[in-house]
């Protein structure tokens, strides 16, 4: 069974009775059964969950300590066939001292005991009254009838999964044990905690966990004691959450009065890929890596993801929340225009040339150019907008191109390429009635020649219009629309271009807004083939290469996280549900892989362009690959 690198982790907050290990362990077991039913392979409970956290001086009592060990042994036996890696918390005696410990066990075997390193004695906490620090402990001890390692350690549970454990306060110190555990190989950190609730603490705690998972390039599962702890002075809320490289995958409700389970699938392949990419992470090992005892064990069964419940965003470049989307678009627009302004300042030039087709990409480039002129206090007339009707130009796009330039008050030039393209095809002995790639590219290159020469003539910079999706698929003419003097859209995917244009439309005057909305409603096309008999666009890009939303989805997970083909198919199926059939996804995924590989030669010589997001194909920093790489292995499932 293929698990695509996913594994489900569950955080359980059991009802407890203070100093009643028998009751507490029974509730923990009920949660284990629930976690197993949900398909979890890793399950954690709060700090000192077997005894309860708020026992205070009762921790010194042999009655409590012995009962904890007795109940632990029963729990280990009862879960021997559950095939779940379980972590519970309990107090443990060792050499006349008491330690606050996490105990890990799997399939009837206690794998290790991890003592808390940092013992809080500040504000409302006074743990040093009862517990010693386990920072330098490394030994074996007898626990529940088994000889186990006692100290800091790593658990290798699968070839792609190494688990590290820290206890509560350990996370809150400047250099947390989890940082060293991560640098030593742990890609999943488990934290069993007892963090009380005060105003605003939940937000701070959430940010802390999210940040730690991001810095450590790991998944981080956290669970804290619940409301049934003693309320002599404090109230515990039962906080539980699971993060993955800065993203909160799931967060449980606080203040629940019944047993609570919070679970999420984590993506180990994604985390491991990001670690391989991040050289700074590797370099940090030299300073902070430690050599921990490694406990090797494996799950008996593969991971069942038939009930996969992790959210997979079908449009990863575009936030779902409208306010976030508008904020994202405004930020990108500012990056584009500020970058173009810098290039203009550097060259000492005052003018821009933009080819305007009436399509989305050139519209965005023109909007960016207009904003750039505002930033530099230059008149919009310094933008020379050039529309170049060809054999495939329709009345709709032609009209929109002219109307938009008029509305934005730029200098308008209209230069038909039909005569020049016809003469060129005659010169190269190409039959103008044969509408092949030569026919199409002749027009694209003629337009670029016009734009380049007009920029030279007017002392201007030619602004490129091509977007990230087109570069990924090679859907551009080499040394045609592929070339410019500065490409403002080069790292903006097609699915985001439309949102950028819409964001500008919503704050524009009514006339400009209407034009932009009609452009948004126009099918995407290079318009290099003659229109239909009724004057409509005949050449629709997505009919040829597939839906851009699928290709942008593939691009994001392929470049950002190194997903293999079978995983890309699986993720697309989850993200788009019933919108696309398996056959459709497979067809366009194969097309994406082939086109991506054979088009690298175009990306290897693209103009400068500002990076706006986490995925870019710039040959100068973000993505480098040989132009002759074979794609055969990437087409295999």
Residues of each annotated binding site for L-glutamine? 195, 201
Per annotation, catalytic residue among 11, 41, 47, 180: 47
Find how far residue 107's CA is from the centre of its chain.
34
Residue stretches of the annotated binding site for deamido-NAD(+): 441, 470, 475-478, 602
C-alpha dist (Å) from residue 517 to 235, 322, 375, 400, 514: 54, 18, 25, 10, 5
List the catalytic residue out of 55, 101, 168, 218: 168
Among the listed residues 14, 12, 7, the one whose alpha carbon sits nearest the alpha carbon of residue 43: 12
Is the alpha carbon torsion for 462, 465, 470, 476 positive or negative?
A: negative
Determine whether 419 is an active site residue.
Answer: no
Backbone angles phi, psi at 209, to 5 degrees: -70, -45
Q: Is 390 exposed, middle or buried (0-12, 13-18, 19+ CB in 10 A)?
A: buried
- CA-based nearest residue to 465, from 393, 386, 554, 362: 362
Tokens of 292: 């921990």
Q: Active-site residue 116, yes or no? A: yes
CA 490 to each of CA 22, 333, 337, 462: distance values in angstroms, whole numbers, following the listed order:
63, 13, 13, 14
- Residue numbering of the annotated binding site for ATP: 355-362, 465
The CA distance from 73 to 110, in Å, is: 9
CA-nearest of 418, 419, 412, 420 to 355 is 412
Residue 354 CA to residue 376 CA, distance in Å, equals 17
Residues contacting residue 564 through CB under 8 Å, at least 6 positions apart: 269, 634
Query: Which residues define the annotated binding site?
Result: 195, 201, 355-362, 441, 465, 470, 475-478, 602
Q: What's the CA gap between 620 and 601, in Å, rounded?
A: 14
Q: Euclidean distance between the first and final Cα of the chain, in Å?
A: 13
- What does the angle CA 553 – CA 555 – CA 559 come to, to the nearest 5 degrees? 130
Catalytic choice (116, 270, 494, 567): 116
Question: Which run of H or E residues covers position 219?
Answer: strand 219-224
Q: In 3-state terms, what secondary structure has residue 40?
A: coil
**Which residues belong to the active site?**
47, 116, 168
């Amino acid at each position: 069974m293929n698990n695509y690198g996913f594994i489900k982790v569950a955080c359980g907050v059991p009802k407890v009775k203070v100093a009643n290990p028998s009751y507490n362990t029974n509730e923990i077991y009920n949660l284990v059964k629930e976690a197993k039913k949900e398909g979890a392979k890793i399950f954690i409970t709060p700090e000192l969950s077997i005894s309860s956290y708020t026992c205070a001086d009762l921790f010194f009592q042999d009655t409590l300590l012995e009962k904890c060990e007795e109940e632990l042994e029963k729990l280990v036996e009862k879960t021997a066939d559950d095939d779940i890696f379980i972590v519970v918390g309990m107090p443990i005696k060792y050499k006349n001292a008491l330690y606050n410990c996490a105990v890990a066990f799997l399939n009837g075997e206690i794998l290790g005991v991890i003592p808390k390193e940092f013992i809080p004695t500040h504000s409302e906490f006074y743990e040093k009254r009862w517990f010693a620090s386990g920072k330098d402990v490394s030994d074996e001890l007898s626990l529940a009838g088994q000889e186990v390692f006692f100290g800091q350690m790593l658990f290798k549970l699968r070839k792609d999964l190494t688990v590290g454990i820290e206890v509560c306060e350990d996370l809150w110190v400047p250099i947390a044990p989890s940082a060293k555990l991560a640098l030593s190989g742990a890609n999943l950190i488990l934290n069993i905690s007892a963090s009380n609730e005060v105003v605003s603490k939940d937000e701070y705690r959430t940010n802390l966990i999210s940040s730690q998972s991001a810095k450590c390039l790991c998944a981080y599962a956290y669970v804290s004691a619940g409301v049934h702890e003693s309320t002599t002075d404090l109230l515990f809320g039962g906080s539980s959450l699971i993060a993955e490289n800065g993203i909160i995958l799931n967060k449980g409700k606080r203040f629940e009065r019944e047993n609570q389970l919070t679970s999420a699938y984590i993506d180990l392949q994604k985390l491991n890929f990001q670690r391989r990419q991040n050289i700074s992470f590797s370099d940090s090992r030299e300073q902070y890596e430690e050599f921990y005892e490694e406990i090797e064990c494996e799950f008996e069964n593969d991971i069942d993801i038939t009930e996969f419940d992790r959210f997979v965003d079908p449009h990863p470049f575009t936030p779902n929340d409208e306010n976030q989307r508008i904020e994202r678009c405004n930020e990108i627009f500012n990056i584009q225009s500020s970058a173009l302004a810098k290039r203009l300042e550097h060259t000492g030039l005052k003018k821009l040339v933009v080819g305007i087709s009436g399509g989305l990409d050139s519209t965005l480039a023109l909007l960016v150019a207009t904003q750039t002129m505002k930033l530099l206090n230059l008149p919009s007339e310094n933008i020379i907008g050039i529309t170049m009707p060809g054999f495939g130009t329709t009345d709709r796009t032609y009209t929109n191109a002219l109307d938009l330039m008029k509305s934005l008050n730029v200098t308008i030039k209209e230069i038909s390429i039909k005569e020049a393209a016809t003469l060129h095809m005659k010169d190269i002995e190409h039959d103008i009635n044969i509408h092949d790639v030569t026919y199409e590219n002749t027009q694209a290159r003629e337009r670029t020649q016009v734009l380049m020469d007009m920029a030279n003539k007017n002392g201007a910079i030619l602004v490129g219009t091509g977007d990230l999706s087109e570069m990924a698929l090679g859907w551009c003419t080499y040394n045609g629309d592929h070339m410019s003097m500065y490409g403002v859209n080069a790292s903006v995917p097609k699915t985001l271009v439309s949102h950028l244009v819409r964001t500008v439309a919503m704050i524009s005057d009514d006339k400009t807004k209407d034009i932009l909305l009609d452009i948004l409603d126009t099918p995407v096309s290079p318009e290099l083939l003659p229109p239909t008999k009724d004057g409509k666009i005949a050449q629709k890009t997505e009919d040829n290469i597939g839906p851009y939303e699928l290709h942008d989805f593939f691009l994001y997970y392929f470049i950002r996280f190194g997903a293999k083909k079978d995983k890309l198919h699986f993720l697309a199926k989850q993200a788009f549900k019933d919108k696309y059939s398996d056959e459709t996804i497979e067809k366009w995924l194969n097309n994406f892989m082939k086109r991506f590989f054979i088009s690298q030669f175009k990306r290897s010589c693209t103009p400068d362009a500002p990076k706006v997001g986490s995925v870019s194909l710039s040959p100068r920093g973000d993505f480098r690959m040989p132009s002759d790489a074979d794609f055969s292995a990437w087409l295999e499932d």
